[in-house]
């Protein structure tokens, strides 16, 4: 569940967005000043055509079209990783729920021990998906790893008491699925859009701001360019936010895990014994 942030991803979204918007606006203004200066020089030079409308009409759509393509491509990458993380939440909740139910065939004290460990593990996973501080994150990750080891040790102890049953291998498989998904979710949390993609996008946005500013000749055009810059920066910040599983505002829902936790807390292992015979509860023939 731990992220592997780069330098870019350690900067909070809001300050980063404000700084980028100010820089883009400044570069748009610089481009506008350069364009006006060159236009004035061309106009004052005999024999020069001061109109570049045809050239600008070809360059600007190409620049904006490529920018839209890059933003769309990066957005698709970020959403794909988000959907993967969201799917893993449901898959892990189902795996833990299955393991919890199969644990109820174990005789005491193995059943109570393993049931408690699965509940603790689920609650810890929910906490890890929140916004813990770095210190809390390290402590919760250590508890997560220790609980995983305890779950496997408890499963092996319980297996010895049911290894003569046909479902014993299925029981171990369900516990193994929980352990596998622990690694899958940790890996999903560290899978980001490559940093180079975001750096290229940022550089392209800055260059595009200069080009757009270059073709602007009046104040109203500058204001319209600022509005477009705001929309572009907002889009880029949205993509970065989606790609920050732990630090961003857009995160995969933990509802399946919370629903499972409430269900396990509300039903103790004894609740599954209401129709079992004393021999079945004891695990003896």
Q: Using one digit for the tens of pLDDT, what is the confidence trace for 229-267? A: 999 999 999 999 998 887 778 888 899 999 999 999 988
> What is the pLDDT at residue 57?
62
Same domain, 178 and 107: yes
Q: Indicate whether 216 belongs to any domain.
A: yes
Average pLDDT over residues 133-147: 86
Same domain, 92 and 185: yes
Q: Indicate whether 273 belongs to any domain.
A: no
Structure tokens at 151: 């779950």
| Higher pLDDT among residues 165 and 8, named by residue | 165
Separation of first and last alpha carbons in the chain: 43
Whole-model pTM? 0.81
Q: Indicate whether 188 belongs to any domain.
A: yes
Same domain, 134 and 33: no
| Higher pLDDT among residues 241 and 2, named by residue | 241
Q: Indicate whether 31 belongs to any domain.
A: yes
Same domain, 39 and 158: no
The domain of 115 spans: 83-192+243-265
Q: Indicate whether 282 belongs to any domain.
A: no
> What is the pLDDT at residue 26?
95
CA 233 – CA 196 distance, rounded (Å):
17
Per residue in 226-235, pLDDT (tens digit) is 999 999 999 9
* Number of domains the chain contains: 2
Same domain, 156 and 207: no
Same domain, 255 and 146: yes
Same domain, 162 and 25: no
Q: Indicate whether 66 belongs to any domain.
A: no
Q: Indicate whether 174 belongs to any domain.
A: yes
Same domain, 156 and 258: yes
Same domain, 188 and 256: yes
Same domain, 32 and 108: no
Per residue in 184-237, pLDDT (tens digit) is 998 888 888 888 889 999 999 999 999 888 888 788 889 999 999 999 999 999
pLDDT of residue 49 exceeding 70:
no
Same domain, 21 and 40: yes
Instruction: Work out the mean pLDDT of the chain and round it to a whole number.
Output: 85
Q: Indicate whether 205 belongs to any domain.
A: yes
Average pLDDT over residues 69-97: 93
Same domain, 180 and 215: no
């Amino acid at each position: 569940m731990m992220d592997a942030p780069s330098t870019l991803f350690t900067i909070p979204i809001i300050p980063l967005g404000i700084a980028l918007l100010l820089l883009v606006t400044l570069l748009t203004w610089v481009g506008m000043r350069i364009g006006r200066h060159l236009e004035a020089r061309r106009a004052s030079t005999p024999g020069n055509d001061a109109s570049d409308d045809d050239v600008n009409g070809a360059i600007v759509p190409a620049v904006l079209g490529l920018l839209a393509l890059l933003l769309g491509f990066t957005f698709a990458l970020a959403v794909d990783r988000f959907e993967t993380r969201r799917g893993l939440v449901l898959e892990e909740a189902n795996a833990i729920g299955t393991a919890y139910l199969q644990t109820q065939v174990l005789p005491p004290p193995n059943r109570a021990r393993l049931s408690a460990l699965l509940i603790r593990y689920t609650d810890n996973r929910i906490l890890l998906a929140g916004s813990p501080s770095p210190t809390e994150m390290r402590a919760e990750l250590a508890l997560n790893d220790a609980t995983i080891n305890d779950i496997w040790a408890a499963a092996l102890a319980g297996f010895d008491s049911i290894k003569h049953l046909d479902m014993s291998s299925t029981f171990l498989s369900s516990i193994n699925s929980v352990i596998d998904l622990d690694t899958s979710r940790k890996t999903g949390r560290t899978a980001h859009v490559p940093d180079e993609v975001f750096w290229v996008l940022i550089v392209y946005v800055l260059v595009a701001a200069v080009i757009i500013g270059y073709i602007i000749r009046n104040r109203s055009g500058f204001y319209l360019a600022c509005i477009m810059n705001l929309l572009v920066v907002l889009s880029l910040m949205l993509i970065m936010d989606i790609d920050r599983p732990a630090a961003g505002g857009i995160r995969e829902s933990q509802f399946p895990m919370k629903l499972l936790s409430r269900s396990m807390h509300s039903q103790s292992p004894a609740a599954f014994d209401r129709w079992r015979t004393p021999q079945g509860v004891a695990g003896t023939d």
